[in-house]
């Protein structure tokens, strides 16, 4: 090649006369040749012009936005649930004036701990077995350090088994209790008349286990009849945010008592799930209404265990019903309250092409448009439905039966036709997209900046069954325009797919102002996928838009 | 250079965007090249696109260590023009002369700009135009023209002499006017 360098005087960056054939037309012919002799693979075709990447990106963005909006909604809609938790906590407040169990001689008045559990009575005497991989709540307790002599007895696993057998022998009415007590690996049982003098089993330790735990505390409460009164008291706040579900306590009453004798035998099961601490829930607990988690007793000075029975006595257990269903009811009500809807007018404001703004299209392809005025179509209202979030933001779904999108006269297709004579001259036919029209469906997220102003970003699917083109014919002989038709109709079909895609995705950003039931917005819209179907070029003209929303609900 | 290198890499992957970029970048120069040999725009475009098709097809064979890419593409497109000229059998009756003047003594395009050059070339018959362009504008020797065009040496000289005489007449007329 070097030996021929002397034959090259030209350089690519030199100044050359204007080529007689525009580069666009020449490249169109070159593309045809390339497609015939060097066809692209399907992947290359799909990725050409970057359309695929744009579409993929906008889809990903839309999914991300929707997911984010959903998460925001879920987070915000949990506020009523917190209120419910607060209500649940309220139900747990013990009324210290309740004399039901005041026969007990110990109280928790000196304790500063609070009880956070939810105690739910059930009609069936049962014991909730809780399997947990977490650490058991009961600390290792040296039995000889327990100040429970004559009152409480804490058994280790072996002790529990023994006591379970003992219970069985003693004819405990609830056989399941005995079985579970026997099966428990790390159970603590407090049995006996706490107020009366019972003997503490020496050398018995309360062990901590790391796997399945069933913590059972049995308190023999006074009862006039021989049947046991069992209550499962949840253990509230304790280490590692452990909840009552991790343990069960069985409180049984044996001895009769004046007020308990009149009460129906009840079994209470404690359920405490995801209950926030008083500080988290904003619940203020007065000193008079303090109540104490049983579990905390084992981490405290054991003298506080003496307060246990008093706590159990003084707790007034209220039936809260199936509290888990309550937030759902409130959530449904909020959803209906926050949904609004109304009419929508969206007016496109193109940067050029106003002469075709109201012009309609015929149903004949590439024929001169005979419909000169279809202004009424612009007045067709659309519908919108919005969900107002807690922070004032909105998620809006928009549906418009007729929406225009302007192509700003950009070239959508160019082809060449050889003239009928033998001179080799040809015509170059250039078609420019003026506008397309059709239904539109979109989703938009409006972020409230101030009370009246908000900014929105959204994605729209625009269908374009019809379009309006400008047709230009240029002759190579005179290098001049020989024919120009300003408005040519185009109807979506397989024959016209090169000129017009069935639909495209557009993004829009708006600044909105709300005043009473009206909302006025202005912004821009830009297609993220091409409006035209040719593989070689993409057409994504930006255009302005004015939005008017009327809130009916 | 980095941009051209990226374009060439894209062309090697048969990427249309890169091919389009390369086509648009060289289009003015290569169109001017083809215009030296052809008056008709369709012929110009045919020669140009045929040449660029060869460039795109054989771009993997280009070795940047052996020369500039533009020179390589330029040569390919020029050969495409010559191929078309060879395929068209000249209907010009060539008259041989015993003694031909030294055609290299005079360069009719020495001080002319592109528009003038094309204006002059348009006055010449196709074959004479091609030989004249190769000799005066492309610095081909007579032997190289003989090889490239498949003509006899006398025929090439005749074309050169013919172009010289015609251009002299044109220059004279233009000066008088």
Res A228 pLDDT > 60? no
**Which member of B20, B41, B53 has the closest CB to residue A27?**
B20
**Closest Cα in chain B to A476:** B41
Res A237 pLDDT > 80? no
Question: How much is the pLDDT for A14?
Answer: 74
* pTM of the shown model: 0.36
**Residues of B in Cβ contact (< 8 Å) with A30:** 19, 23, 49, 52-53
**Closest Cα in chain B to A21:** B41
Res A248 pLDDT > 80? no
**Residues of A in Cβ contact (< 8 Å) with B41:** 20-21, 476
CA distance A467 to A170: 92
Write down how long chain B is.
Answer: 177
- A184-198, A248-262, A282-296, A512-526: which has the minimum mean pLDDT? A184-198
**Closest Cα in chain A to B119:** A17
- Please state the domain extents for chain B: 2-88, 103-176
The verdict on B18 touching A (C-beta cutoff 8 Å) is no
| CA atoms lying within 13 Å on the CB side of residue A115 | 34
Res A213 pLDDT > 70? no
Could you give phi then psi for residue A451, rounded to 5 degrees? -65, -35
**Residues of B in Cβ contact (< 8 Å) with A425:** 42
Quick one: pLDDT band at residue A440, thresholds 50, 70, 90? very high
**Closest Cα in chain A to B15:** A44
Answer whether B49 sits within 8 Å of A26, measured CB to CB. Answer: yes
Cβ(A340)–Cβ(A514) below 8 Å: no
Question: How much is the pLDDT for A449?
Answer: 86
Contacts of A43 (CB under 8 A, 6+ apart): none
Instruction: List B residues 37-56 in contact with A (Cβ-Cβ < 8 A).
Output: 40-45, 48-49, 52-53, 56
Answer whether B42 sits within 8 Å of A425, measured CB to CB. Answer: yes
- A45-49, A336-340, A452-456: which has the minimum mean pLDDT? A45-49
The verdict on B62 touching A (C-beta cutoff 8 Å) is no
Class of B2-88 in CATH: mainly alpha
Quick one: pLDDT band at residue A115, thresholds 50, 70, 90? very low
CA distance A308 to A292: 8
Cβ(B36)–Cβ(B137) below 8 Å: yes
Quote the tokens at residue A530.
């091409």
Question: How much is the pLDDT for A277?
Answer: 44
Cβ(A275)–Cβ(A85) below 8 Å: yes
Task: Taking residues A407-434, report their average pLDDT.
Answer: 69
Residue A351 or residue A402, greater confidence:
A402
- A82-86, A393-397, B57-61, B71-75: which has the minimum mean pLDDT? A82-86
Task: Taking residues B101-113, report their average pLDDT.
Answer: 64
Question: How much is the pLDDT for A384?
Answer: 92
Question: How much is the pLDDT for A44?
Answer: 60
**Residues of A in Cβ contact (< 8 Å) with B25:** 12
Number of A–B residue contacts, CB under 8 Å: 109
Alpha helices in A185-319 (DSSP H): 278-281, 296-299, 306-314
Residue A527 or residue A433, greater confidence:
A527
- A5-14, A25-34, B132-141: which has the minimum mean pLDDT? A5-14
Cβ(A376)–Cβ(A385) below 8 Å: no
Q: Note the pLDDT tens digit of each residue in B121-176.
A: 888 888 888 888 888 888 888 888 888 888 888 888 888 888 888 887 777 776 66
Question: How much is the pLDDT for A6?
Answer: 55
**Closest Cα in chain B to A50:** B17
Answer whether B57 sits within 8 Å of A1, measured CB to CB. Answer: no
Question: How much is the pLDDT for A90?
Answer: 52
Please tell me the distance in Å from B104's CA to the nearest CA on chain A.
Answer: 15
Single out the residue of B117, B103, B79 nearest to residue B157, CA to CA.
Answer: B103
- Range with top average pLDDT, A275-284, A331-340, A349-358: A349-358
Single out the residue of A387, A479, A180, A328 nearest to residue B41, CA to CA.
Answer: A479
**Closest Cα in chain A to B45:** A26
Cβ(A501)–Cβ(A468) below 8 Å: no
Could you give phi then psi for residue A516, rounded to 5 degrees? 55, -120
The residue written with tokens 């959530």 in the block is: A331
Answer whether A7 sits within 8 Å of B139, measured CB to CB. Answer: yes
* Residue burial A456-484, b: 16+ Cβ < 10 Å; e: rest: bebbbebbbbbbbbbbbebebeeeeeeee
**Residues of B in Cβ contact (< 8 Å) with A22:** none
- A209-213, A355-359, A414-418, A495-499: which has the minimum mean pLDDT? A209-213
Question: How much is the pLDDT for A53?
Answer: 58
High-pLDDT (> 70) share of chain A, %: 41
Res A190 pLDDT > 90? no
Task: Taking residues A276-294, report their average pLDDT.
Answer: 48
Question: How much is the pLDDT for A509?
Answer: 92
Residue A299 or residue B23, greater confidence:
B23
CA distance B145 to B160: 11
Question: How much is the pLDDT for A81?
Answer: 47
Question: How much is the pLDDT for A432?
Answer: 80
Class of B103-176 in CATH: mainly alpha
CA distance A314 to A319: 16
Res A466 pLDDT > 80? yes
Question: How much is the pLDDT for A153?
Answer: 42
Could you give phi then psi for residue A220, rounded to 5 degrees? -85, 100
Q: Note the pLDDT tens digit of each residue in A310-330.
A: 666 666 655 555 555 444 445
Q: Note the pLDDT tens digit of each residue in B38-75.
A: 888 888 888 999 999 999 999 888 887 878 888 889 98
Please tell me the distance in Å from B53's CA to the nearest CA on chain A.
Answer: 7
Single out the residue of A262, A207, A278, A197 nearest to residue A229, CA to CA.
Answer: A262
Question: How much is the pLDDT for A385?
Answer: 92
Task: Taking residues A177-187, report their average pLDDT.
Answer: 43
Contacts of B147 (CB under 8 A, 6+ apart): none
Cβ(A273)–Cβ(A330) below 8 Å: no
CA B14 to chain centre: 27
Question: How much is the pLDDT for A229?
Answer: 42
The verdict on B110 touching A (C-beta cutoff 8 Å) is no
Task: Taking residues A445-464, report their average pLDDT.
Answer: 90
CA end-to-end span of chain A: 79
Cβ-count burial of A170 within 10 angstroms (0-12 exposed, 13-18 middle, 19+ buried)? exposed
Which of B1, B8, B16, B76 to substitute to test the interface with A, most A CBs within 10 Å?
A: B16
Residue A10 or residue A228, greater confidence:
A10
Q: Note the pLDDT tens digit of each residue in A346-376.
A: 888 887 777 778 887 776 666 676 667 778 8
**Which member of A23, A33, A48 has the closest CB to residue B27?**
A23
Contacts of A16 (CB under 8 A, 6+ apart): B28, B29, B31, B32, B114
- A78-87, A334-343, B46-55: which has the minimum mean pLDDT? A78-87
**Closest Cα in chain A to B10:** A44
Task: Taking residues A90-117, report their average pLDDT.
Answer: 44
Could you give phi then psi for residue A131, rounded to 5 degrees? -95, 130
**Which member of A27, A34, A425 has the closest CB to residue B24?**
A27
Answer whether B29 sits within 8 Å of A11, measured CB to CB. Answer: yes
Residue A407 or residue B100, greater confidence:
A407
**Which member of A12, A38, A536 has the closest CB to residue B57?**
A38
Average pLDDT of the residues of chain A? 63
Answer whether B114 sits within 8 Å of A16, measured CB to CB. Answer: yes
CA distance A307 to A292: 9
């Amino acid at each position: 090649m070097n030996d021929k360098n002397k034959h090259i005087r030209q350089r690519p960056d030199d100044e050359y006369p204007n080529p007689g054939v525009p580069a666009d037309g020449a490249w169109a012919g070159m593309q045809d040749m390339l497609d015939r002799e060097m066809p692209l693979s399907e992947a290359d075709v799909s990725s050409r012009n970057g359309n695929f990447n744009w579409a993929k990106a906008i889809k990903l963005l839309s999914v991300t936005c929707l997911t984010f909006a959903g998460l925001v909604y879920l987070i915000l809609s949990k506020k009523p649930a917190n209120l419910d938790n607060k209500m649940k906590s309220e139900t747990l407040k013990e009324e210290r004036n309740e004399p039901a169990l005041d026969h007990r001689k110990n109280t928790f008045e000196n304790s500063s701990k609070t009880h956070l559990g939810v105690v739910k009575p059930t009609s069936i005497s049962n014991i909730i077995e809780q399997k947990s991989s977490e650490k058991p709540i009961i600390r290792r307790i040296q039995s000889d350090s327990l100040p429970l002599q004559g009152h409480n007895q804490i058994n280790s696993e072996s002790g529990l088994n023994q006591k379970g057998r003992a219970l069985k022998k003693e004819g405990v009415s609830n056989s399941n209790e005995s079985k579970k007590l026997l099966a428990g690996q790390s159970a603590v049982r407090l049995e006996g008349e706490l107020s009366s003098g019972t003997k503490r089993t020496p050398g018995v330790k309360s062990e901590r286990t790391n796997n399945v735990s069933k913590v059972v505390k049995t308190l023999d409460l006074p009862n006039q009849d021989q049947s046991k009164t069992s209550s499962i008291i949840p253990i509230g706040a304790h280490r590692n945010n452990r909840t009552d579900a991790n343990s069960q306590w069985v409180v049984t009453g044996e001895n009769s008592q004046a007020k308990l004798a009149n009460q129906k035998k009840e079994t209470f099961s404690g359920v405490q799930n995801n209950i926030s601490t008083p500080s988290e829930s904003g619940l203020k607990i007065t000193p008079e209404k303090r109540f104490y988690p049983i579990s905390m007793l084992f981490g405290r000075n054991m003298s506080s265990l003496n307060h246990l029975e008093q706590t159990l006595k003084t707790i007034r257990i209220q039936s809260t019903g199936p509290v888990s269903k309550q937030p759902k009811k409130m959530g449904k009500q909020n959803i209906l309250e926050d949904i609004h809807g109304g009419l929508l007018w969206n007016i496109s404001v193109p940067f050029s092409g106003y002469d075709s703004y109201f012009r309609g299209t015929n149903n004949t392809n590439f024929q001169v448009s005979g419909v000169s005025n279809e202004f009424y179509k612009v007045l067709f209202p659309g519908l919108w439905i919005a969900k107002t979030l807690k922070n004032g933001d909105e998620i809006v779904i928009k549906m418009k039966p007729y929406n225009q999108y302007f192509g700003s006269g950009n070239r959508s297709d160019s082809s060449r036709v050889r003239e009928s004579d033998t001179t080799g001259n040809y015509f170059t036919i250039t078609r420019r997209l003026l506008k397309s029209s059709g239904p539109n469906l979109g989703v938009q997220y409006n972020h409230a900046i101030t009370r009246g102003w908000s900014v929105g970003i959204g994605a729209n699917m625009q269908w374009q069954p019809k379009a309006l083109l400008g047709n230009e014919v240029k002759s190579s002989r005179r290098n001049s325009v020989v024919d120009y038709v300003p408005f040519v109709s185009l109807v979506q079909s397989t024959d016209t797919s090169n000129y017009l895609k069935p639909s495209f995705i557009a993004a829009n950003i708006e600044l909105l102002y709300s005043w009473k039931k009206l909302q006025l917005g202005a912004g821009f819209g830009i297609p993220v996928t091409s409006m035209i179907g040719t593989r070689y070029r993409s057409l994504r003209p930006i255009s302005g838009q004015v939005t008017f929303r009327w809130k009916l609900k | 250079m980095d941009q051209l290198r990226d374009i060439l890499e894209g062309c090697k992957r048969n990427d249309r965007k890169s091919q389009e970029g390369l086509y648009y970048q060289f289009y003015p120069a290569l169109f001017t090249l083809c215009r030296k040999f052809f008056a008709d725009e369709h012929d110009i475009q045919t020669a140009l696109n045929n040449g660029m098709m060869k460039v795109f097809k054989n771009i993997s064979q280009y070795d940047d260590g052996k020369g500039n890419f533009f020179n390589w593409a330029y040569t390919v497109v020029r050969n495409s023009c010559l191929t078309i000229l060879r395929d068209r059998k000249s209907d010009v009756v060539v008259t041989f002369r015993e003694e031909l003047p030294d055609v290299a003594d005079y360069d009719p395009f020495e001080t002319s700009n592109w528009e003038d050059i094309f204006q002059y070339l348009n006055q010449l018959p196709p074959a004479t135009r091609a030989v004249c362009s190769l000799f005066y504008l492309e610095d081909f020797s007579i032997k190289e023209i003989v090889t490239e065009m498949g003509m006899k040496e006398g025929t090439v000289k005749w074309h050169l002499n013919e172009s010289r005489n015609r251009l002299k007449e044109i220059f004279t007329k233009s000066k008088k006017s």
